[in-house]
């Protein structure tokens, strides 16, 4: 086992959307690194319990579940307090939870816009605020999971793209604001990755994505998790305000 694989020993990490997909892959990667894990999730108890068991099997000395709605500012604040009470500190925050409610702008409902922005963007603001407070004394790392859509846009995903582009602005602003306190803030921008969310896309859309990707294949959640782990680790100790693209060459 390499030193990098145990680099999170003694660290506490909160990952949102940790019950499945990229969030679960990130949790498992940090578990292999020896992190104590606070696994945030919204609704699926069975998937969350499965993720917890897998993290413990992967080497996490401790993994606890925190069920809350990231779209609710008060719930985010309470969850952060609960994590601090349970673990006594916080070293890594991964803002991964997200939804995609697609639709053309002329037909888009205001309620769907509100839900998309609150879940994908405002949640990262609220949780980063709470995490920054916890990290003020000894530093830490915040990693936001944005999207290639937030960089290049996509028809029918204006709300989703707006939220994910906003995460990039949040990342860069917080990096400047918190850097003097040894808190690093970065983002990972995945391309077309195999997750439950992308499984719902029409086959024609999937084929078009792959055709426009230089590596001519979809990515995996584990590949995104490696990038998140790198930015959260000491190996990235002089990196902040960065957006790391993991998109196979879909957007350069």
- pTM assigned to the model: 0.95
Of 195, 194, 185, 196, residue with least CA distance to 228: 185
Of 37, 128, 45, 123, residue with least CA distance to 86: 37
Distance CA 117, CA 136 (A): 27
- 155 pLDDT more than 80: yes
What pLDDT was estimated at residue 3?
44
> Are the C-beta atoms of residues 212 and 169 closer than 8 Å to each other?
no
| Catalytic residue set | 160
Tally of CB atoms within 10 A around 193: 22
Domain ranges of the chain: 3-242
> What is the mean predicted confidence (pLDDT) over 71-99?
96
Distance CA 50, CA 118 (A): 27
The answer for residues whose C-beta is within 8 angstroms of residue 74's C-beta and 6 or more apart is: none
What pLDDT was estimated at residue 194?
84
- Give start and end residues of each alpha helix (H) in 10-95: 21-32, 45-58, 73-87
> Are the C-beta atoms of residues 39 and 55 closer than 8 Å to each other?
yes
- 2 pLDDT more than 60: no
Query: Superfamily for 3-242?
Result: NAD(P)-binding Rossmann-like Domain (3.40.50.720)
- 112 pLDDT more than 80: yes
What pLDDT was estimated at residue 1?
47
Distance CA 249, CA 247 (A): 5
What are phi and psi for residue 156, nearest 5 degrees?
Answer: 85, 0
pLDDT above 90 covers a percentage of the chain that reads: 91
Structure letter (DSSP) for residue 236: G
Of 12, 31, 141, residue with least CA distance to 83: 12
What pLDDT was estimated at residue 4?
58
pLDDT tens for residues 197-219? Answer: 666 677 877 788 889 999 999 99
- 50 pLDDT more than 80: yes
> Are the C-beta atoms of residues 66 and 39 closer than 8 Å to each other?
yes
pLDDT tens for residues 55-74? Answer: 999 999 999 999 999 999 99
What pLDDT was estimated at residue 197?
66
What pLDDT was estimated at residue 5?
66
Look-up of token digits 């609150």:
118
- 22 pLDDT more than 50: yes
- 176 pLDDT more than 60: yes
């Amino acid at each position: 086992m390499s030193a990098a694989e145990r680099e999170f020993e003694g660290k506490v990490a909160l990952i949102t959307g940790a019950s499945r997909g990229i969030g679960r892959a990130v949790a498992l990667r940090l578990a292999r690194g020896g992190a104590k894990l606070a696994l945030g999730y919204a609704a699926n108890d069975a998937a969350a319990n499965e993720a917890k068991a897998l993290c413990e099997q992967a080497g996490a000395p401790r993994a606890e579940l925190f069920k809350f709605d990231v779209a609710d500012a008060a719930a985010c604040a309470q969850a952060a307090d609960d994590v601090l009470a349970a673990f006594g500190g916080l070293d890594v925050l991964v803002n991964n939870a997200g939804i995609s409610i697609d639709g053309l702008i002329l037909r888009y409902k205001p309620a769907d816009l509100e839900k998309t922005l609150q879940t994908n963007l405002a949640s990262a603001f609220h949780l980063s605020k709470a995490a920054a407070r916890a990290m003020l004394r000894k530093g830490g790392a915040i990693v936001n999971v944005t999207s290639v859509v937030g960089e290049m846009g996509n028809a029918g995903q204006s709300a989703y793209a707006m939220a994910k582009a906003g995460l990039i602005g949040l990342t860069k602003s917080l990096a400047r604001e918190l850097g003097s306190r040894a808190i690093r803030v970065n983002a990972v921008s995945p391309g077309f990755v195999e997750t439950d969310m992308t499984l719902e896309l029409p086959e024609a859309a999937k084929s078009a994505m792959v055709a426009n990707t230089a590596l001519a294949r979809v990515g995996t959640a584990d590949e995104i998790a490696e990038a998140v782990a790198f930015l959260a680790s000491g190996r990235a100790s002089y990196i902040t305000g960065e957006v790391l693209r993991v998109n196979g060459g879909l957007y350069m």
